[in-house]
Each structure stands twice: as structure tokens, then as C-alpha cells.
Amino acid sequence: MMYCPKCRESLGDDIKICPFCRHKITDYERKLIEDARRKEEEKALEEENNKAETVGRVRVICFIALLSIGLIVLFTFFILMHLDRMQQAVAVLTGGYVFLGLMVLYLIFVKKINDCPHCGRFLYRNYGTNCQWCGKRIR
């Protein structure tokens, strides 16, 4: 699909004369149109890759946050044990690890839902029916 350089109407790829404005499309204009389309596709692909990198960074931050929560729970547990408050220490440890377990299960669930079953890449635009990376049907 290409557009007429004069009237901007959409045309087929093999059209030589625009049926709307009668402009003759030269090979040079056709080459310019193809170059512009290729640049747009490259820009879109670069944006997709940037978003994927951002999602990867968010995953790392979530992992670090969960690890930090686990360390805080352990630290609190050992402080309470040192103060001879065993019942509170066990409650903190149990509650903290139940919370961490639920968060880990949630993150695994989100990863499984948002990964392509064919290529395994992250689908941050998962409202479509096809994978934006490999093009195969996902729903």
C-alpha cells in the first residue's frame, strides 16, 4: 500500500497513475515512498525494542524489590527473636513469606500470560490476536 505524493490518497503498489488526481507516479517517487515506509517501519521496530527493554528493567526492579522485602522480613524476624518475642517473630516470618509467595506467584502468572507461546518474547501489547514479534496467532 502506498499513497499518492500529490493528493495523499491510498493506492495499490503497482499503480502508475493516480486515479484520483491523475498524477503520474515516477520510479523516483516510488523509491522515495518506499524509503519513507521503511524508515517508519524501522522507527516502529525501534520503539517496540525500547518498550521491551523497559519491561525487562521493570522485571529486574520487581525482583530486587521482592528480594528486599524478604531480607526485611528476615531481619525483623531475627530482631524479634533476639528480644525473646518468639510468637511475634513467627507471625512476622509467616506473614512475610506468605506475602512474598503470593507476589512471586503473581509475577509468574503475569509472565506466563504476557509471553508469546511460539517465540517466548514478552507481549506488552497483548490485546491483539497475533504476536508483534513472530506474527503467529496467540489467541
Enter the C-alpha cell of residue 106. Answer: 503473581
Domain boundaries, the chain: 2-114
Q: What is the pLDDT of residue 128?
A: 67
Q: Select from 127, 76, 68 the least CA-distant residue to 103.
A: 68
Lowest mean pLDDT among 58-67, 99-108, 130-139: 130-139
Amino acid 39: pLDDT: 92
Mean pLDDT of 38-48: 86
Residue 110: the pLDDT is: 76
pLDDT digits (tens, 9 = 90+) for 69-118: 888 888 888 888 888 888 888 888 888 888 888 888 888 887 777 788 88
Please say if the pLDDT value at position 125 is more than 70.
Answer: no
Residue recorded with cell 509472565: 111
Strand-pairing partners, residue 24, are 17
**What ranges make up the beta strands (E) of the chain?**
2-3, 10-11
pTM of the model: 0.49
The band of 139, judged by pLDDT with boundaries at 50, 70 and 90, is low
* Burial track 53-92 (b if 16+ CB lie within 10 A, e otherwise): eeeeeeeeeeeeeeeeebeebeeebeebeeeeeeeebeeb
Buried b (16+ CB within 10 A) or exposed e, 9-31: eebeeeeeebeeeeeebeeeebe
